[in-house]
A and B are shown apart, each in its own frame.
Chain A
């Protein structure tokens, strides 16, 4: 680590009774004062952003934590209830179901949602022509409003022989399957929708990362007789591991907060098969008007996400450096 120049000067000229040392001290003190002035000026320029960010982002977060220990009807002043909201939450048998469902969704999402965009990106990057069209097609689902996309998928998943997917499967003498009407198939069906709608962004990011991989590494691997599979395994993936690990973390956080798909497509059904933690928060707050319990669950979810992120970053610290 290199030391700041003024600090080096200060140490070198600090002999007692040395006139040059006093001058140097004064210079050093002046520089420190200058730095403080610069910092104060920077703080002033930063202040509007801090005020806005604090008011609209941090303050609501702090309020949420406070609200999780209160009961309110949003009309009269809230009153403290201690840990009662958390006790009520843990007495709700649906909490365990929702937590398991959310983990199940997250697991399935990673299983499908991690490799699919990566494979797509590698394939698109290998295209000699039509790359722009392929990138556009890959990103297209992202620009469709989520609720519209989800409602479209609801039509695709229509049960019986008239459903779009069942009609196609019928050509191969398969089905019809109940998709969203089945407690077993409902969650995997939602994962397909979530992957379809979210993969485009990951594909673009992977493509950008792929563009940064040196062609010389591939040429060297080719000269060494490496197959396509070995080139991907030994060149592409190691070069992209930083991006892959960050996207994986974002995907875990996003999947643990899944809401739109179960809310619009199944309302948590059938028989609670797709109830998620966020759907529970939504119901507590906006269906039952119990904001205290809703924020208590929000706080718990936030804590889980923080812990998951911290553990993940610690575990992957050594792998993510290229």
Chain B
């Protein structure tokens, strides 16, 4: 009887193992010689014109590269799910991430070294070192930029006109922004200056504003360790400026607890006069959300003496689990889709013509990912297809030539931003908040974060 029980148990265990083994098998019908890569950056199904252009590019790429199959993913970057998807084997081969992400992705070993693959590209050596410094480590290369941007003032030209302000002359200093905001609220009843404070955006903006006052968020101590550097005048001035707008002028509206997507919706709806963002990066989303291109204004990042602005980029990286063949295919796709249109005038013209034919924005002024000369060469090549009101970006573009570009904190940027969100929220929701006290508290917390990240 015992033997029978053992047989039954054995059979049950075997069934369990077999069912597990079946689940782990390879999918039928896969051609073993074809390299399949999943790439982020496919436009959403609702953006039909952009999606059609993407699919046409995939077809052309596959024809040029037999043996490679490209599967697009319209799921945007989400740090919250990436690690789990990477562990589960469902993360895309090619990642498209904001420039704040590479330091932590590289540190955690979640992205691949593609130095050997990018060395084959003609244009690699000419990529802008300002961005590449965050994507390289000694001889290793972990990514390339797709586009680059800098903080600036986004404003509604129509609201400016209604408030009696000249839409071609946006404010250039924080004091001017304060005066403009008060006038907008007084004359139109709308939010003069909007602010975002959740999902790390409060800390992100505090960082960008502090740079314009000549401050820094972190600095390297004598022993090479990074420590908090924001508990001084520049950040304090930013917090006090926010308090003035919120509690003295009442020009920021009542809702100060939102993130970038919330503010974009309010801006598209014509409820907000001005706010700070990356104007070129925001524009396609603004148009896709139904915003009127004629109302979109881009001004310089307001300053308080430093002539500096926070710079960022969207970068392309390859998942650490990719095989050599997948890495090679992914870099070929990066070159085809992202680099050539910014490097080869002929390809740039072809791509711009196709995009314009599909009604997509062409000619949004951006920071160059190659040299300024190369950027101007490309702009000249696509000039006939530009459909963006470039003149609305003129004040922003003019400022780019004069400002210093300051990168985001190189250590634990997202954790630092998360620690600073409550500080920004406190000054905007509590009229009795003491900025100096809040800065001192935040300094301690950020130093703890930095210590833990460098130990």
Contacts and interface: CB of A to CB of B under 8 A. Distances in A.
A80 B384 CA distance: 61
Interface stretch (B59-67, B230-238, B386-394, B418-426): B418-426
B93 to A, nearest CB: 14
A183 interface: yes
Interface in B378-427: 412, 414-415, 418, 421-423, 425-426
A178 B12 CA distance: 61
B136 interface: no
Contacts of B437: none
B415 A180 contact: no
A32 B315 CA distance: 71
Nearest to B256: A181
Interface stretch (A70-78, A135-143, A212-220): A70-78
B237 to A, nearest CB: 20
B429 A75 contact: no
Given A271-B429, A271-B430, A286 B197 contact: no
B9 A288 contact: no
Nearest to B12: A47
B22 interface: no
A289 B79 contact: yes
Given A74-B86, A181-B429, A286-B81, A269 B5 contact: no
A160 B291 CA distance: 25
A239 interface: no
A271 B414 CA distance: 17
B320 to A, nearest CB: 5
A284 B69 CA distance: 36
A173 to B, nearest CB: 19
A159 B257 CA distance: 10
A73 B82 CA distance: 11
Interface in A70-95: 73-76, 88, 91-94
Contacts, number: 111
B198 interface: yes
Interface in A241-291: 266-272, 283, 286-289, 291
B86 A75 contact: yes
A94 B109 CA distance: 28
B55 interface: no
Interface string B434-455: 0000000000110010001000
A279 B301 CA distance: 34
Interface in A22-52: 33, 37, 40-41, 44, 47-48, 51
Contacts of A41: 5, 8
Interface of B is mostly: helix
Contacts of A37: 1, 5
Interface in B87-101: 87
A172 B391 CA distance: 50
A73 B253 contact: no
B123 interface: no
Contacts of A76: 109
- Which of A74, A269, A288 counts the most B-chain CB atoms under 10 A from its CB? A269
B257 A181 contact: yes
A92 B448 contact: yes
Nearest to A51: B16
- Which of B16, B79, B108, B109 counts the most A-chain CB atoms under 10 A from its CB? B108
Contacts of B321: 75
A47 B257 contact: no
Given A178-B254, A269-B425, A288-B414, A74 B83 contact: yes
A182 interface: yes
- Which of A48, A267, A288 counts the most B-chain CB atoms under 10 A from its CB? A267
A158 interface: yes
Interface residues of B, number: 46
Contacts of B452: 88, 91
Given A73-B110, A74-B87, A159-B255, A183 B429 contact: yes
B86 A93 contact: no
Nearest to B258: A267
Contacts of A266: 198, 257
A135 to B, nearest CB: 36
Contacts of B200: 287
A282 to B, nearest CB: 8
A75 B110 contact: yes
B254 A181 contact: yes
Interface string A147-190: 00000000000111000000000000000101011110000000
- Which of A48, A283, A289, A291 counts the most B-chain CB atoms under 10 A from its CB? A289
A203 B329 CA distance: 59
B84 interface: yes
B432 to A, nearest CB: 10
Nearest to A161: B254
Nearest to B421: A269
B198 A269 contact: yes
Contacts of B16: 48, 51
Contacts of B199: 267
Contacts of B104: 289
A291 B83 contact: yes
A269 B254 contact: no
A271 B426 contact: yes
- Which of A76, A271, A272 counts the most B-chain CB atoms under 10 A from its CB? A271
Given A37-B1, A44-B12, A92-B448, A75 B109 contact: yes
A178 to B, nearest CB: 7
Given A269-B198, A271-B423, 19 more contacts: A37-B1, A73-B110, A74-B83, A75-B320, A75-B321, A92-B448, A181-B255, A181-B429, A267-B199, A269-B421, A270-B430, A271-B425, A286-B81, A287-B80, A287-B200, A287-B418, A288-B415, A289-B83, A289-B104
9 contacts: A47-B12, A93-B445, A160-B253, A181-B257, A183-B429, A268-B422, A271-B426, A286-B83, A289-B79
